[in-house]
Each structure stands twice: as C-alpha cells, then as structure tokens.
Copies of this chain bind each other. A is one copy, B any other.
C-alpha cells in the first residue's frame, strides 16, 4: 500500500498467492503449495508459519506416502463476509467465510412502505442475529456486500428512484450500513449481484463472462466480464430492459416505446391474463399455471421468451458472452421460457456468436442476489483484508 514497489509488497503478494491457492484447492500440503504457486519450499514454509500464527490458516496432520504431509486449509473463521440483499418482498442475509463457504442464510419479509432507515435497522438486527447464531467472532467480519433493487450511483452511493422501494430514493445504503455495522460496505444493484452470485455459486461456475437476465417487475441484466462486474463508466450498463424492440410498441415507463420490458416484465404481462385468470394473478402464479398446462399462460410465457430472446440476441451480437443465465421468477418456468429464448437467439443473433452461447436457468433462485452480495464483499476485499493482522489477530492494545 504505502510502498508500492518494494519487498514488503512482494511479501504481501506472496501471502495472497498462497491464500488464493489454498482457497481454490480447499486444502493443500506445503509441498503442493510450493508447486502450484511456483514459490520455493522454504518460502512457503515461512509464509505458512506466518499465516498460521495470524490465525488465517489451519494446519492438520494427514497420512501420506512418505513423511506425514500436513495439510493446510483456511481456518473456518479466518475472515467472515456478509451479504445483504433487499429484494421486492424480502430481505435476505447470508454469512460466509473466506473459503467461499456459506455458513448461514436467512430471509425475512420486507415492509415496502417502511422508511429506508427502518429497513436498514431491520437488516442490522438480522445480521446480528445471524452472527450470533453461527457463533462467529464479530471482529472477524471483513466486509459486507449489499444489494438494492434499483439503480445506484456507484460513485456517490446514492440510490436512484425505485419503483419497488419508493421511500428509499436518495438514500445512501452503503453509508447507512457502514455506520450500523462498522465495517466496509459495498453496494450494487440486484441484477449485477445476481450475475456475480450465479457466476461464483450457480450456473456460471467455470466461465468468466456471464450475462444474468432478471425478469421480475422489470427486466434488468447484470454483466460479468472477465470475472468482474461490468458497470460501465456511468454505472448503468446492462439495461437490457430498455432496448427497443418495436419503435411503435407500447409506451414504457421509461418514456420510450416498445422496450423489451413492455413485452416481458410482470407489470406489462400480467394485465394480459387478468381478464381471463382473475386480478390477483402474480408472475409466480402464471408460471405455476403454465407448468400445470394452462394454455393461455403457456402462450404468454412463450411470447415473453421470444421477446427476451430478441434482446439476448442483441446482447450476444454486441458482447458475445459465453453464457446467459436467466433469473427472477420467470426462470422457474424452465424450458417453457428457455426454449423460445434459444429459438429467438438462434434466429436473430449472428450464427458465430450464437453457436457458443449457452442459455441456462439460474441455479440459485431467489438466493442469487444475497450470494452475489457475499461474493461482492469477497471480491472487493481482494483476499488481502485478511492479511492485515488487525483482522486475524486480536488488536494488541499495547506493545
């Protein structure tokens, strides 16, 4: 940090290298660490000792061919990260450790009419409860990732206007939560976090580029490029919901006409069915009915799929991601919606880009966002926070 090109920074880098290697493999012996990192055995020996003393890593004996190799693994509570997600109806919290393991997860209903401050208070309580329930040491919490269902200015941290949480416009969620929890908080919107969640724990495992399309009351996309969330210079990348499909189509809430959203989002699609299926229909209900064979619902879902497919085709031509993951309520419809999407992509995308694209349903359902928040916290701390001593060792009051 303070000495950007000196030996101590090299040492730090090597520490991180070892931690990363261990985390990726789950557990390794020192000799294996030396081989995978390219460091010498002597260096690894020193580094492992340092990490062990710091509490970041645990060393357990194993039986092997030659001398007993001691296997090195991340100690369970070396560093704790927390993910918080404010969704349309629920608030979710997840606790995980640096080994990418989720230790606990819980959700509770969110009162949409409550003020932002009340929401943050509730979140703080839920976090505290979960920390207590898992028995982790509160001082080990290294960071929090926070998901909000709306546009957020990443620079200033201010929440834009949200249809879902009307009273929250202008709130600064990161700041609020940092004050309450006393640790660094990183925010992003739900689509980006869903993308990250599916990438790390769900349908995106193994790829580096992914587009996560979330269809709920609106349509949004989260883009992950080369393992990192891509926000664009203005922070508004991924607005797939408002690409124009039909210049003379229905008027959209954004002011344009014929946006993808007007053909796919719940708020525009449900009215089509409410005359025939009753006014209380939800997207969930449409999906359920479609799976049970209701022809009207099937037709609507297929149409939605076709339109989403057009949008995905554009996305595919421009960005050529290797995988598109469908999230949100609609993903529950499975092939009923994926089939038409794929068909539409095949029709409208250029063949060379469409060929290697796979369109998959999200594997995490409603958990994608919280888990993405967890992943955000992990990625933002860049594996280095846990090396700070202040975290892994109890801060010495005097020396």
Contacts and interface: CB of A to CB of B under 8 A. Distances in A.
Contact of A240 (B207, B209, B318): B318
A360 interface: no
A64 interface: no
Residue of A4, A37, A244 ringed by the most chain B CB atoms within 10 A: A244
A151 interface: yes
Contact of A39 (B5, B238, B347): B5
B233 A356 contact: yes
A151 B352 CA distance: 10
A380 B6 CA distance: 26
17 contacts: A5-B38, A7-B7, A151-B352, A160-B352, A209-B233, A230-B319, A231-B320, A234-B352, A234-B353, A234-B355, A237-B353, A239-B317, A240-B318, A244-B310, A247-B348, A254-B351, A256-B348
Contacts of A321: 232-233
Contact of A236 (B235, B254, B320, B348): B320
Contact of A232 (B4, B320, B347): B320
Main secondary structure of the interface of A (DSSP, over half): loop
Nearest to A37: B5
Given A7-B10, A350-B236, A244 B314 contact: yes
A243 interface: yes
Residue of A247, A255, A318, A352 ringed by the most chain B CB atoms within 10 A: A318
B234 A225 contact: no
A367 interface: no
A305 to B, nearest CB: 15
Contacts of A322: 232-234
B352 A221 contact: no
Interface string A1-29: 00111110110011001000000000000
A320 B234 contact: yes
Nearest to A256: B348
Given A4-B37, A5-B14, A238-B318, 18 more contacts: A4-B39, A7-B10, A9-B10, A151-B352, A230-B319, A232-B321, A232-B353, A235-B320, A238-B320, A239-B353, A242-B350, A243-B318, A244-B310, A247-B348, A254-B350, A256-B348, A314-B318, A315-B318
Contacts of A352: 151, 160, 234, 236
A208 interface: yes
A81 interface: no
A253 B363 CA distance: 38
